[in-house]
Amino acid sequence: MRLLCIDVGSGTQDILLLDTTRTAENAIQFVMPSPTVLVARRIRQATARKKVIFLAGETMGGGACTIALREHLAAGLSVYATERAARTFSNDLGKVTSWGVKLVSDGEAASIRNGVKITTGDVDFALLERAFSAWDVKLDPGVIGVAVLDHGAAPPGESERRFRFRYLEDRLKKQATLESLVYRASEVPEHFTRMQAVARSLGERTPLVLMDTGAAAVLGASLDGEGACHPERLAVNLGNSHTLAFHLEGLKVLGMFEHHTSMLSLQRLETLLARLVSGELTNDEVWNEGGHGALVLSGGGSPFLLATGPRRALIRPSRLKPCFAAPFGNMMLAGCFGLVRAMALHFSEWRMEIDKALRLD
């Protein structure tokens, strides 16, 4: 059985094709520029040529492409976008149009001439098929897993940061496990517009699971050989944009916080981790300094510290002496291996086969 896992970050998209009949270390692995980086590059090329751009496709992650879009508009150049493409930049379409973006229907978009068409979307299965075919690999997965960071479409007047964390808090208070942060395509809440877009992009051709990028990375980091020996863990994923830390006992969540990596110094990160474990960390403390929030369900203990993510160098000199998780020898694929674990948790009919491939049997 082949499992395709795609972890879409703000800097890279990490791709794993795991054959359960082979060792995990021999899986096919790619680390490529993320879709937002690629779209940003195409926008800037159009800006340099002073071209009108037309954005169509699915809602995807913003970040780099949002910055490029604002620069294009600031240069006095026009932007047309379908509603789904426009939600890439904000779920508040009034905000997007206030920048100068002109919304068009799919039909109107097809009639636009003399512009540069840029397709948006977090997952392009046809492109992946072509990439794999260059090495004579047929892309025919039995299950697909995708991780994206989805802030969610907040109600009018509510911050997306606040809304996202409030939803995570409610979810974990009902079921305090990492498994509760895994969704099948039919289970994705309507307000998670980015996950919904991924599900539409892939259709119903193959069973699909979706996760938040941070939760997937933490789940995957727990497969690291040394980390797996410690039931109580403090797992931190230092992503290019966001840092998430989970205090865990097995898969049970004892507490967590989410922050913006660029706002963290080593000293502040160490303080946040210590206060999370002690149970003293509050939601307002993280929110007021620009993060998303914190949740403590149970404090205390002396957890084993696992660190992963592309910005993990921040914690390298820490007095907390972290273990740098590299499941099956690859730190950048932690999120993908977390998706593999999520597949086993959500599809009981394949659990034994997948667990054997992960050497959990």
| % of the chain exceeding 90 in pLDDT | 86
Q: What is the band of 247 on the pLDDT scale with cuts at 50, 70, 90?
A: very high
- Among 336, 153, 121, 355, which residue's Cα sits nearest to residue 237? 336
State the Cα–Cα distance between residues 64 and 69, nearest whole angstrom: 9
What is the residue-averaged pLDDT of the chain? 93
> Which pTM value belongs to this model?
0.94
Q: What is the pLDDT of residue 109?
A: 67
Instruction: State pLDDT tens for residues 129-174.
Output: 999 999 999 999 999 999 999 988 888 888 888 888 888 889 999 9
Q: What is the band of 205 on the pLDDT scale with cuts at 50, 70, 90?
A: confident
Domain 35-120: which topology? Rossmann fold (3.40.50)
Q: What is the pLDDT of residue 361?
A: 66
Domain 225-325: which topology? Nucleotidyltransferase; domain 5 (3.30.420)
> Which one is predicted more confidently, 94 or 108?
94
Domain boundary assignment for the chain: 35-120, 225-325
State the Cα–Cα distance between residues 255 and 246, nearest whole angstrom: 6
- Among 214, 256, 207, 274, which residue's Cα sits nearest to residue 238? 214
